[in-house]
Amino acid sequence: MSHPIRNIAIIAHVDHGKTTLVDQLLKQSGTFRENQEVAERVMDSGDIERERGITIAAKNTAVMWNGVKINIVDTPGHSDFGGEVERILKMVNGVILLVDAAEGPLPQTRFVLRKSLSLGYRPIVVINKIDRQDARAEDVLNEVFDLFVNLEANDDQLDFPILYAIGIKGIAKLNLEDEGTDLQPLFETIVSHVPEPERELAKPFKMLVSNVEWNDYVGRIAIGRVEQGEVLRNQQIVLLDRHGNVKQKAKVTKLFSYAGLDKIPVDKGQAGDVICLAGYEDTNIGDSLVDERDMVPVPYYDIDQPTISMFFRVNDSPFAGLEGKFVTSNQIRDRLVKELRTNVSLKVSPTESPDVYRVAGRGELQLAILIESMRREGYEFSVSRPEVIFKEEGGQLFEPIEEVIINVPEEYSSRVIDILLMRKGIMESMSQELENVRLAFKVPSRGLIGFRNDVLTETKGMALIHQQFYDYEPHRGEMPGRKNGSIVSMEKGQVTSYALEGLQDRGQFFVEIGVDVYAGQVVGINNRSDDLLVNVVKRKNLTNHRASQTADTVRINTPLKLSLEQCLEYIEDDELLEVTPKSLRVRKKYLDHNERKRQKSAANV
């Protein structure tokens, strides 16, 4: 019989120290050699994850502690990655709920915790960052208890073990007053509190595919927890879809188990352990790998449905193909299909045009991260404004509603309330937390497109915003659109200081002197509500007269640089965002001014 096993997931809000804690668990279990160079936050391996400080795709690791193998899964904290969370929780038998000692439990914590409790898991609560100056561990513990009660935890789940931690120093303790030197109390709690997975070795092999990876040498790798039985390398097993249809019969060409951050080749995988299998090119998340003696798939539940969609299209601007490596519709389609292999909460569908694909996801952030990944890989394309996906039931229109919690200094709270009320939000609660006010709202998803920008501008960047999908509710009526029109270039060429000097009182510009622009490109935000057509490439007529001294000292305002998310929030229905590895350009859908007028007249008929 192999080692005893514990399978746990760590759930926490973005930035509460989850990935740092996993680093320390790896270090203190002797997973790394004494002299081994280890990157900070080893589990966040993607560049975008490191930059944003969030976990997007779930990672697996395993540590050995006193003869017990502990498989640890790092789950995404953001609800846009709900598809990841759902299936990851199916692989484990217990969860660690990690909460910041100052911020307390936040919406994304609630989202994953609700799913864990409904699966019957009994969480271990770890209150982290107790060394913060503004830490309030006792209050946070009460908030956690209230949260469990709100989520209808049973008596067993309410009797949770509590540990206090300083994750970055690798310290956990059972009481706040204790000294604490290492993470031993946490290891001991995991082993004593988390049940060992059922290990029915005598039954035929069965495993649910919870994750899929790609490796250039061995092809697709199916990852999951073995539900029952055992599997040997070179054994023939069957791949079933979630309905029980046979997809493939093949041999297991490679078999891996986790040790630290590495996958190590093994000859056998047993019930209860998390393993990786190669040899099944058609495997997808939600499929089952089974022994021929028991051809019944492991039950799989559908994950959260998409609530936001966008159109990805071939870039047809005058600058098309100048900055990107992959620009054709086939290349874009292949990349989107590849994303579907591992991203289950995404849906891609063709449209009437071969150059346009509709991509639906769980939120603006999920789609923004896909766009950012593609541009870093060398793709060039354009995208439309994010749209909300409505549902119709019994002749009534329903729309997705999100739960929004904003922590904001008191002096800005009334402005934030006004913004959310304008966007059809309904206030659920308002409470004081030191100098800050905590506002809880239920807001239609379409009202949240562009709202983050507004709130951060109004609060001078002081607001902390958390949002997550709540439910579908009846449509809340018309929503006000963007207040300002766009400043649109009427000519192609290089932006001149002479042109900008004469125009800068008309609005705020995105472009700087010397940058190439084209006709129909949006070069700024108009002070007024309508679009303004301007010539930003206009040059000064040369004369024999010498200009006065003052003409040489023109001050041009600093251009406004929008991030990818800000661009997506800014664009209107008649605009697109051109995305290339080097640039983000907002443009009109129809570049020709007369064509725009014709389209507008046709729409108003």
Residues flagged as binding site for GTP: 15-20, 128-131
Do residues 408 and 464 make contact, with C-beta atoms less than 8 angstroms apart? yes
**How deeply is 203 buried, as exposed, middle or buried, from its count of CB atoms within 10 A (0-12, 13-18, 19+)?**
middle
Residue 51 dihedral angles phi and psi, to the nearest 5°: -65, -45
Tokens of 62: 């395993």
Q: How far apart are CA 584 and CA 562, in angstroms?
A: 8
Helix, strand and coil in the chain, % to nearest 5: 25, 30, 40
State the amino acid at position 460 in one-letter form: K
> Among residues 399, 401, 403, which one has the least CA distance to residue 466?
403
Give the relative orientation of helices 184-193 and 18-28 as an angle to the nearest 10 degrees.
Answer: 100
**How deeply is 542 buried, as exposed, middle or buried, from its count of CB atoms within 10 A (0-12, 13-18, 19+)?**
exposed
What does the H/E/C string look like for 172-239? EECCCCCCCCCCHHHHHHHHHHCCCCCCCCCCCCEEECCEEEEECCCEEEEEEEEEECEEECCCEEEE
Distance of CA 467 to the CA centre of its chain: 12
| Cα separation of the two ends of the chain | 76
Q: How far apart are CA 488 and CA 506, in angstroms?
A: 12
Going from the C-alpha of 53 to that of each of 43, 107, 250, 365, 368, the distances in angstroms are: 11, 17, 40, 13, 15
Q: How many residues does the chain have?
A: 605
**How deeply is 208 buried, as exposed, middle or buried, from its count of CB atoms within 10 A (0-12, 13-18, 19+)?**
buried
Q: How far apart are CA 382 and CA 22, in angstroms?
A: 38
Strand positions, DSSP E, 38-129: 59-65, 68-74, 94-100, 124-128
CA atoms within a 13 Å half-sphere pointing along the CA-CB vector of 332? 27
Can you say which residues are annotated as belonging to the binding site?
15-20, 128-131
Give, as one character, the DSSP assignment of residue 280.
Answer: -
CA atoms within a 13 Å half-sphere pointing along the CA-CB vector of 309? 15
State the amino acid at position 144 in one-letter form: V
The continuous run of DSSP H or E covering 414 comes out as helix 413-422
Q: Are strands 246-251 and 171-173 parallel, antiparallel or unpaired?
A: unpaired
Q: Kindly report the CA angle at 396 between 390 and 401, in degrees rounded to 5?
A: 45
Q: How far apart are CA 529 and CA 51, in angstroms?
A: 35
Going from the C-alpha of 570 to that of each of 318, 522, 575, the distances in angstroms are: 22, 11, 9
